[in-house]
Structures are given as C-alpha cells and as structure tokens.
Structure 1
Amino acid sequence: MRHGLLALICWLCCVVAHSEMLNVEQSGLFRAWFVRIAQEQLRQGPSPRWYQQDCAGLVRFAANETLKVHDSKWLKSNGFSSQYLPPEMTLTPGQRQLAQNWNQGNGKTGPT
C-alpha cells in the first residue's frame, strides 16, 4: 500500500503542473476516499472496471474513482454501503477531470 500511496503522490505532483490543484481540505478527502476505495478492492476482490490489475493499475483505478461523484448509483455499483464513508468532495469540473491526464509515456497524456 505504501508503494501505491507513493505513486499517487508522484502522480498528483505531475498532474498539478497541468491542472487545478486541490486545496488542503480536498486533499484530505481525496486521501480518505482513495484509501477506502483501494481497501475495498483488496477486501471484496477487484472491480470489473479495474482492468489493469497490478499495483499501478490499482493506484490509477482508485484515483479515477476517487474523483467521481459518490452518489447512490456509484455506491451500489461498487458494493459500498453508505456507512463509514468519508464526506463527499466538492470539486470543480476541472478538478474532476484530473483523472483524464495520466502520463502515458512518449509525451502522451489521457485517461486509462
């Protein structure tokens, strides 16, 4: 899990140069959701949407899912109950698009 968090921090540092930054409160909520989503993947087994099932893939999946709106539809499709969840993040549309800017190598960026 430490390697995943380190990769997440590196990803955030790279993306911030090209996107809107998260404020302190948003960053704390991002971490809380990220950890909860990653833990659920390990507890429940991988989501069908987590198709790159390696450590880096888990980081990308958890980061992408963290930036989504966690409404009742999302909770149900991911097997989450509404108990013991972090508060929902209030993000701008630009911040929600952070997951669309992964560095894919060879100077390319985009979603994974």
Structure 2
Amino acid sequence: MLNVEQSRLFRAWFVRIAQEQLCQGPSPRWYQQDCAGLVRFAANETLKVHDSKWLKSNGLSSQYLPPEMTLTPEQRQLAQNWNQGSGKNGPYVTNASQLSN
C-alpha cells in the first residue's frame, strides 16, 4: 500500500506519463496499445525510479516533473500484483468482470 503522500505523487506521475503517451505518441515500450495497456504501462512506469536514464528512455524532459517518490522495493512491484480474482495475483487483470472483486 501507498501512504497519502505516495498516492498523491503516484497520481501526478501516472497522469504525466499517460499524458505523454497521448501527446507525443506511444513509447516503444508500451506494448499493448489499448486503454488497458495504457493503464498498465503508466502504472508500471510510475512505480519505477525516474532517473536520467529513465527520462531519456521515455523521451521526457526534466521540466514539469512531479517530485520523485520514495518507495520500498515491495511497493515498486505493486503494478505486477493486480488482484485477478479467485485468490490469484498477477501483472494484469484477465477478465473485466473480476474488477469488482
């Protein structure tokens, strides 16, 4: 789980990353180029360390970026641990009807 400040920064980074995909075109690393894929991509990228290497590989300038999040290694893996229902977790939700679980 994220605390209140981490959640605020997560939202800021998520929006910035998703907006970049829509404004500049999709990153080559955004493999499933649909709405669900954008959510997965933005969530995964949001939880990464946003150093100069990351900025360059994503084509982002260092202007207008949210502050970096301080996360534990376990928190950085949250986007790989979606609740898939029936007691299973994984890197994505396999069935939209399971989102209500």
Shift of 1:79: 0.5
CA offsets 1:16-65 (integer angstroms, 9 cap, x no match):
xxxxx100000000000000000000011111111111111100100000
Name the % identity.
92
CA offsets 1:68-106 (integer angstroms, 9 cap, x no match):
000000000000111110000000111001011134567
Shift of 1:108: 4.0
TM-score (norm 2): 0.83
Shift of 1:107: 5.4
User: Within 1, Cα distance between the matches of 2:19 and 2:28?
Assistant: 16
**CA RMSD, 1 decimal:** 2.4
Structure 1 counterpart of 2:74? 94
Which SS does the other structure have where 2:83 is aligned? strand
Which SS does the other structure have where 2:8 is aligned? helix
Q: Relative contact order (alpha carbons < 8 A, sep ≥ 6): 1 or 2 greater?
A: 1
Paired residues in the alignment total: 92
